[in-house]
Amino acid sequence: MAEIDETSIDITLPDGSTHTHPAGTTGLEIAESIGAGLARDALAIKVNGEVRDLDRPVTEDAEIEILTWDDEEGKQTFWHSSAHLMAEALQTLYPDVKFTIGPPIDQGFYYDVDLGDQTLSADELEAIEEKMLELARRDAAYERHEVSKADAIEHYEAEGNEYKLELIEGLEEGEISFYEQGEFTDLCRGPHIPSTGDIKAPKLLSVAGAYWRGDESNPQLTRIYGISFPKQKLLEDFLERRRKAKERDHRKLGTELNLFTFDTEQVGPGLPMWLPKGTTLRQTLQEVLQQEQVKQGYKPVCTPHIGRLDLYRTSGHYPHYEDDQFPPMVTGEGDDGEEDGYLLKPMNCPHHVKIYQNDHHSYRDLPVRLAEFGTVYRQEQTGELGGLTRVRGFTQDDAHIFCTPAQVKDEFKSVIDLTLKVLDALGFEEFEAQISLRDPDDTEKYTGRDALWTRAEQDIREAVAETDLDAYEEPGEAAFYGPKLDFMVEDALGRAWQLGTIQVDYNLPERFELTYVDEHDERKRPVMIHRAPFGSLERFIGVLIEHCGGNFPTWLAPTQVQIIPVGDDFVDYAQEVAATLRAEDVRVEIDTSDETVGYKIREAETQKVPYMLVVGGDEEEAGTVSVRSHADGPQGTVSVQDFLDRTGPEFEPTLD
C-alpha cells in the first residue's frame, strides 16, 4: 500500500460536529475516539455516502457515520459477511461446491451455489449452521485484497469456477477485490464486518432452486437463505416473529378464508383467481375509494388490456421497461421498419394520456383527473413470485391528474391526504414516506431532460414539506419517467411494504406533446401526476390479510353476519332475519348444515365472521337474535333492529 501523507483531515459526524484526525485514520480508530462502546458495536463506516470496512484508512476530509446493528446498512454489512461465513462452512462440508453470488437481502442473506451432482435438503441446514458457529468462534478477520484482473482470472481458472469467471469479465482493471476469512476466499466488493466473531447467532431458513443470473436457459443452482444476529436473543425474537408471520401468511389465510386461488399448471404462476369472497373484498375496497374519488372530482375511465407497440415506444415503456414486460405480440413490420404488434400493458398511463388527447383543454378545465382500476401485466421471474405480493397480473387503483404547473403542489398534497385516509381506514398506523429520486450516477435509465427532473423533484420536496409529512430521500428509486413519493407501510409484525405511490411527471406530457390553452390563448404543456393509494389491489390485500390476521373490519369482511339456526325448524326464521339485514346492505350467510350449534360457531369463528346470530325457538317467538361477536364473544339477546342500531356504523364503508 502506498505511504500515506501525514496531514490532518477534518471528519464531520452526523451531529454536525467536526473533528481533526491524521490522514489515514481508520474507521475503527475514529469510533474509538468517540467512545469505547461505539467501537465495540461498530460494524462498518460510511464515508461520504460510501459504506466501507472499518479498517480502511480515511485519507481526506469526509462526512462519516459509524454503522452499528441499529443501522440498516450495518445490518446489510453483517448479513453480507454472514453469507461468506456460510460459504466457508459449505466449502468445508462440500469440497466440490462452486460459488456464484451471495448478497444480503432485506431480511438476511442468500448464496447461490452449484453442488454438481449433489443435492441439498432442508434437513442438512442444521449441520451447516453448526459448522458456521464453529468457524465464527475462531474470530477470523475479514481481510480485503485488491487484485489484478489477470490474477483474479488465474485464481478461478484454477478452481474451475466458470461463474466467477463470467462475473470477472464484466469488471474493469483496478476495481477487483477479494475478501478472505479463515480458509475461504471470495470475489467481492465488500464491505464486511471486522471479524467472524461478531456473528453469534446464525440461522439457515430454507433451500430453493434458482437459475444463474435469473435466466431459465442457464444452469439451475441451489439457493440457501439464512439470517444472523450479533445476539442469541435477537434470533429468538426473529423466530417468534416468523412463527407469527407463518400463522398470518396471506397464502395460508387466503386458502382458509376462500379468498383466492392459483392454478400454476393451466392458468400460470403469478396469476391469482379471485373466489366469490375475495372478489367481494376487492369490490368493497374499490367502491370505498371510488366514492371518495367522485367527491374529489375524479372521472372514471376504462382502457383495454393491450396496446400497440408504438404507444409504448412513445411513452418510453418500450424499451425502457422491456425487461419487466411480456414479449410483444408481433404482427408485422411498420413503415419505419420497426416491429409492429401489441403489448400486454405494463402500465395504464399511456392509455390515460390518449384519453386526455381525445379532447381539447383550456386552463379552465384543469385539473383533469382520470381514474381506473386497471389490470396490468409484468413478466416477473418465477422464483420471485410470492402469493399476492408479487404477481404477473395485478390491478392498480390508478389515476392520472393532468394539471398546470401552478396546480402541481396542491394536487400532490390532496393525493397525500387521500393516501393517508386509506392507510388510516385500514389500520396501518406505522409508515415512512420515501421520496424516490433519480440515480445521479446512472441517468441513462431515465427519460427526459435534466431540467424537468429537477423541477419534478423540487415539486415533491415542497409539497411534502407543506404537509408536515416526515420523509427521507432515496436516490435511484424513481420511475423511469419521474420521481415519486412512496409510502413504506409497516404491518403488525414490523415488516415494511411499499404500497401507495404518487409520482410527478413532466416527461410523458412532452413525449406525447400534450397541451392545454392558457389564459393568454397560448398552448402550454400540462404536468401529469400518477397516483395509486393502494398501489395494487393484490399486494395491498396480501399485506392487509397479514396485518390484521384475516380479521377484517366489519365493513370490509366478505361475510359480515353468519346466522346459525339451532335446527332445521328455525331456518325459515333465519331467512326472515337475513332478509331484514340484507335490506340494510349487510352481507349475510346462513349455516344450514346438519352440524351442531357449537361446531357452526367454531366454523364461523375460523372464517373470522365479525358477527354470529344464533336463532332458535325462544328467539323466533320473541323476534330476537342471540348475538356473538368474533372479537368479544357473547353479546346477549336483542331484537334485529336493536342489533342494527348498535352495530350499524360498523357496516358502513368509509374513508372518513
Distance CA 636, CA 626 (A): 6
Collect all residues with Cβ–Cβ distance below 8 Å to 100 and sequence separation of at least 6: 111, 112, 113, 114, 163, 164, 212, 221
Distance CA 538, CA 535 (A): 9
Distance CA 378, CA 274 (A): 19
What is the tens place of the pLDDT at every residue in 386-425? Answer: 899 999 999 999 999 999 999 999 999 999 999 999 999 9
The residue assigned the cell 393509494 is 533
Catalytic site residue from 198, 398, 459, 505: 398
Could you give the maximum distance between any two Cα atoms of the chain, in Å?
A: 98
Tell if the pTM clears 0.85, that is, is over it.
Answer: no
What is residue 6's predicted lDDT score, i.e. its pLDDT?
Answer: 61
Could you tell me the three cell numbers for 386? 410470492
Q: To the nearest whole percent, how much of the chain has pLDDT over 90?
A: 80
Residue 275 Cα to chain centre, angstroms: 24
Distance CA 425, CA 440 (A): 37
What is the tens place of the pLDDT at every residue in 143-184? Answer: 999 999 999 999 999 999 999 999 999 888 888 999 999 999
241 is catalytic: no
484 is catalytic: yes
**Confidence grade of residue 96 (pLDDT, cut at 50, 70, 90):** very high
Could you tell me the three cell numbers for 601? 360457531
Range 442-466 average pLDDT: 89
Range 267-276 average pLDDT: 94
What is the tens place of the pLDDT at every residue in 19-46? Answer: 999 999 999 999 999 999 999 999 999 9
Range 274-298 average pLDDT: 95
What is the tens place of the pLDDT at every residue in 587-614? Answer: 999 999 999 999 999 999 999 999 999 9
> In a 3-state reduction of DSSP, which class is residue 316?
coil
User: Among 70-74, 127-131, 491-495, where is mean pLDDT lowest?
Assistant: 491-495
Catalytic site residue from 192, 317, 378, 547: 378
| Structural Rg of the chain based on CA atoms | 29
**CA 106 to each of CA 247, 337, 338: distance values in angstroms, whole numbers, following the listed order:** 21, 44, 41
The residue assigned the cell 332475519 is 577
How, if at all, do strands 611-615 and 561-565 pair? parallel
495 is catalytic: no
* Average pLDDT over all residues of the chain: 92
Distance CA 112, CA 97 (A): 10
**CA 654 to each of CA 424, 535, 553: distance values in angstroms, whole numbers, following the listed order:** 11, 19, 11
Collect all residues with Cβ–Cβ distance below 8 Å to 285 and sequence separation of at least 6: 534, 537, 540, 541, 556
Could you tell me the three cell numbers for 253? 389465510
Catalytic site residue from 282, 438, 484, 608: 484
Catalytic site residue from 52, 75, 530, 608: 530
Q: Which residue has the higher pLDDT, 468 or 613?
A: 613
What is residue 4's predicted lDDT score, i.e. its pLDDT?
Answer: 47
Domains and CATH numbers, the chain: 8-68 (3.10.20.30), 73-245 (3.30.980.10), 260-303+362-548 (3.30.930.10), 554-651 (3.40.50.800)
Catalytic site residue from 46, 52, 400, 587: 400
320 is catalytic: no
What is the tens place of the pLDDT at every residue in 302-348? Answer: 999 999 999 999 998 887 777 788 888 888 887 777 888 999 999 99
**Confidence grade of residue 2 (pLDDT, cut at 50, 70, 90):** very low
378 is catalytic: yes
Say if residues 342 and 353 touch (Cβ distance below 8 Å): no
**Confidence grade of residue 1 (pLDDT, cut at 50, 70, 90):** very low
Could you tell me the three cell numbers for 556? 370490509
Catalytic site residue from 76, 91, 396, 607: 396
403 assigned binding-site residue: no
145 assigned binding-site residue: no
352 assigned binding-site residue: no
What is the tens place of the pLDDT at every residue in 185-243? Answer: 999 999 999 999 999 999 999 999 999 988 888 999 999 999 999 999 999 999 998 88
Distance CA 485, CA 392 (A): 24
Could you tell me the three cell numbers for 418? 387521500
Q: Which residue has the higher pLDDT, 480 or 98?
A: 98
Range 430-446 average pLDDT: 87
Distance CA 206, CA 76 (A): 19
Catalytic site residue from 188, 349, 403, 548: 349
